[in-house]
Amino acid sequence: METIGKRMMVLRFSALGDVAMTLPVVYSLARQYPELHIDVVTRPFFAKLFINRPGNVNVIAIDFKDYKGVSGTLKLLKMLGGLKPDYVADLHNVLRSWIIDRYFRLRGVKVEMVDKLRDKRRRLFKTGERQPSFIDRYATVFKRLGYPVELTFKSLYSPDSRPAVPFKVEHPAIGIAPFARYYNKTYPAKQMREVISQLTNEGYNVYLFGGRRDEAEALKAWASQFDRCDSVAGLYPLHDEIALMSEMDVMISMDSSNQHMAALTGTPVISVWGSTTPACGFMPYKQDEANAICMNIPCQPCTVGGSKECPKGHFDCMRRLMPETIVGKVKQLLPTIP
């Protein structure tokens, strides 16, 4: 396809993990079609994910607080219209993106949106029927726009250009991101502390990742309880956290943004699943599903994105998952300690 002078607008406003899942597709697209100019529209914090992006990818950070109400929406549409895209790839598929889609369709711009398969979720919950990966769904959007994508992305960093990190990481290094946005995607704290205890006693060095404020305070307290354990939560900007993930020998994460950020660096990820499962379509990029730890009890999954409580009340999907199972998976990936 002739791409000289063509512009594509990509819409994905949230959340952090979902935006992270767009990067392998957008970067692969950009490198496969170097003469196609790509404008990615997202929120300011998520824009920080686009590290070492190809030269034909431009990230437009939109703070929607500046575009409230009807007048704000018109202002946003005028600004985006000034970019004069030839194509719009809506990777979000929500009301706000529908308004943008409609604006450009009325101007003759070809628009395609990601299929969230909302109509198939009932079968997912009843039978566990696997949903396509969102990464593959994003690629399908570009294919429908006339730009089939081969997913060639490997890492945010090249082998001969490793990122600077804020301190020297001691190996073998295990990163643990123990929190998720929702309760029923989070491994119980007592059990996770037992994972940390077993790993540090075995000679692994553990680095704790998490958010600022409450998470940072909690992880600082956890780290103080164990030798060979440090918390990096809340201490560094996002690009430094991702650089540190690239230094981990293994990353343990819930079904959260951390598994996707670690995957962007090529670090092996052990993912821990509760109310959601890999069947929901959120496996991290190019990660081995053999490293996805899931009880697969009859009531899993009970939600696609997580919720505040277990609908059954027992939370067996996490409570019955023994710390030894997670530690055993680490030992399987890193069987020897130097």
Tens-place pLDDT, residues 160-211: 888 999 999 999 999 999 999 999 999 999 999 999 999 999 999 999 999 9
Q: Which CATH superfamily is domain 173-327 in?
A: Glycogen Phosphorylase B; (3.40.50.2000)
- Give the 3-state secondary structure of residue 219: helix
One-character DSSP codes across 125-190? HHH-PPPPPHHHHHHHHHHHTT---------SSBTTBPPP-SSPPPSSEEEEE---SSGGGS--HH
Look at the domain 7-115+135-144 and name its fold.
Rossmann fold (3.40.50)
What's the mean pLDDT when you consider all of the chain? 96
| Number of neighbouring beta carbons within 10 Å of residue 106 | 8
Report pLDDT digits (tens) over 115-125. Answer: 999 888 888 98
Question: How is residue 236 annotated by DSSP?
Answer: S
Identical fold, 7-115+135-144 and 173-327: yes
**pLDDT surpasses 90 at 143:** yes
d(CA 259, CA 248): 12
AA letter at 112: E
Please state, for a pLDDT cut of 70, what percent of the chain lies above it.
99
Question: What local confidence, expressed as pLDDT, does residue 223 receive?
Answer: 98
pTM above 0.85, yes or no: yes
Mean pLDDT for the stretch of residues 103-117 = 97
Domain assignments of the chain as residue spans, ordered by start: 7-115+135-144, 173-327
Q: Torsion angle, CA of 268/309/43/234, rounded to 10 degrees?
A: -60
Mean pLDDT for the stretch of residues 291-295 = 98
Report pLDDT digits (tens) over 209-230. Answer: 999 999 999 999 999 999 999 9
Task: Give CA angle at 255 (252, 259), nearest 5°.
Answer: 50
Grade residue 71 by pLDDT with cuts at 50, 70 and 90.
Answer: very high
Mean pLDDT for the stretch of residues 57-72 = 96
What order do you get walking across the sheet with 269-273 strand by strand? 229-231, 205-208, 173-177, 250-254, 269-273, 292-294
Question: What local confidence, expressed as pLDDT, does residue 52 receive?
Answer: 97
Report pLDDT digits (tens) over 252-264. Answer: 999 999 999 999 9
| Number of neighbouring beta carbons within 10 Å of residue 13 | 17
